[in-house]
Amino acid sequence: MKPLMLGGRDRPVFALFTPAEGPRKRRSALICPPLGQEYVRAHRSLALLGRQLSRAGLDVMRFDYFGTGDSGGDGEEVTLDGCVGDARLAAAELAAMTGVDRVSFVGLRLGATIAGRAARESGVRVGTPSDGAVRSVRAGALVGWDPVEDGAAYADLIREEADAVRDGAAHWRGFPFSESLLDEIADVAAWVPPPSPRARSLAIASQCMRGPANFEVIACEPCWTEQGNSGHGAVPAPVIRRIVEWVAA
């Protein structure tokens, strides 16, 4: 794995690039994580997903949105629009590093919303930090893993369960969600359609319940909820296997 810092001084975004192992396919994959505690709980699963995609022959990039993880900024600065821009930037850098402009976007929870928007806007030309060149990235496939289907209910949950409200932000399970971010989340309505008629899409639900009609359901514990009192989530191997098989096909 190769650690990178994208975006320059004003908006540094941390990323990890994992090159393909074995026979290399002419496409790559960008993994868009959730926000807040859900990302902490799902971190092991997303890392495993990245390794498995690499072993399937794809170049892979994982990254932290500005204001999260090892990226610059503070949690109060996180916006969905900003996260979409970070995803597009990471996709452009992935294309620059690999010479392959077709990127599959894989997103978990709110990361699915971000991935969907980034995929739909992927035809927009983006400047990359490594060489300053401007590139147009094509969305080859889009995967929504347990996407947030009702943003208003999700925003209400964060407000209701907030540990505290400080400086205009609801602190939910140790992470701040600004009012502007919650308003953006409240506008999230449903799983996004494919970015173009030629792009494939997969919506997958890992919860032990019936998903929407257009979802493929694999019953197992979600990776983004706490498993017992462990502080982290389960690793749903069947879901990861299905995503890898589908993206690599």
Provide the CA 147 distance to its chain's centre, in angstroms.
10
Which of 140, 162, 189 finishes a domain?
189
Number of domains forming the structure of the chain: 2
Same domain, 155 and 49: no
Cβ count within 10 A of residue 80: 21
Q: Are residues 50 and 123 in the same domain?
A: yes
Q: Do the beta carbons of residue 86 and residue 98 sit within 8 Å?
A: no
Instruction: Give the residue-averaged pLDDT of 55-77.
Output: 97
Which one is predicted more confidently, 108 or 210? 108
Same-domain check for residues 41 and 134? yes
Q: Say if residue 103 is in the same domain as residue 172.
A: no
Mean of the pLDDT values across residues 31-52? 97
Amino acid at 18: T
Distance CA(177)–CA(75), nearest Å, equals 7
In tens, the pLDDT along 141-164 reads: 899 999 998 999 999 999 999 999
- The pLDDT score that the predictor gives to residue 133 is 61
Lowest average pLDDT, out of 22-26, 31-35, 219-223, goes to 22-26
Residues 71 and 103 in one domain: yes
- Per-residue confidence (pLDDT) for residue 135, from 0 to 100: 62
Same domain, 135 and 97: yes
pLDDT(130) > 70:
no
* Predicted TM-score of the model (pTM): 0.93
User: pLDDT-derived band of residue 230, with 50, 70 and 90 as boundaries?
Assistant: confident
> Are residue 141 and residue 114 in the same domain, yes or no?
yes
> What's the Cα-to-Cα distance from 6 to each of 59, 116, 134, 205, 234, rounded to whole Å?
17, 21, 14, 31, 30
Please compute the mean of the pLDDT values over residues 65-81 and round it to a whole number: 97
Confidence of residue 57 (pLDDT cuts 50, 70, 90): very high
The sign of the dihedral angle between the CA atoms of 158, 115, 246, 201 is: positive
- Asked whether residue 143 falls in the same domain as residue 170, the answer is no
**Running DSSP on this structure, what letter comes out for residue 190?**
S
pLDDT at 32: 98
Q: Are residues 163 and 242 in the same domain?
A: no
**CATH number, residue 56:** 3.40.50.1820
Tell me, yes or no, whether 122 and 140 share the same domain. Answer: yes
**pLDDT surpasses 60 at 234:** yes
111 Ramachandran zone, left/alpha/beta (phi>0; psi -120 to 50): alpha
Q: Clarify whether residues 174 and 62 are in a common domain.
A: no
Q: Which of 189, 222, 184 is nearest to 84 (CA)?
A: 184
Residues spanned by the domain of 39: 2-148+191-248
- CA 85 from chain centre, in angstroms, equals 12
d(CA 38, CA 223): 8
Across 14-28, 36-50, 189-203, 208-222, the highest mean pLDDT is recorded for 36-50
Whether the per-residue pLDDT at 134 is higher than 70: the answer is: no
Q: Looking at the structure, tell me whether residues 204 and 227 fall in a common domain.
A: yes
| C-alpha to C-alpha distances, 244 to 56, 60, 86, 148, 228, nearest whole angstrom | 7, 12, 23, 21, 27
In this prediction, residue 139 carries a pLDDT of: 85
pLDDT tens column, 177-210 = 999 999 999 999 877 665 565 678 899 988 755 5
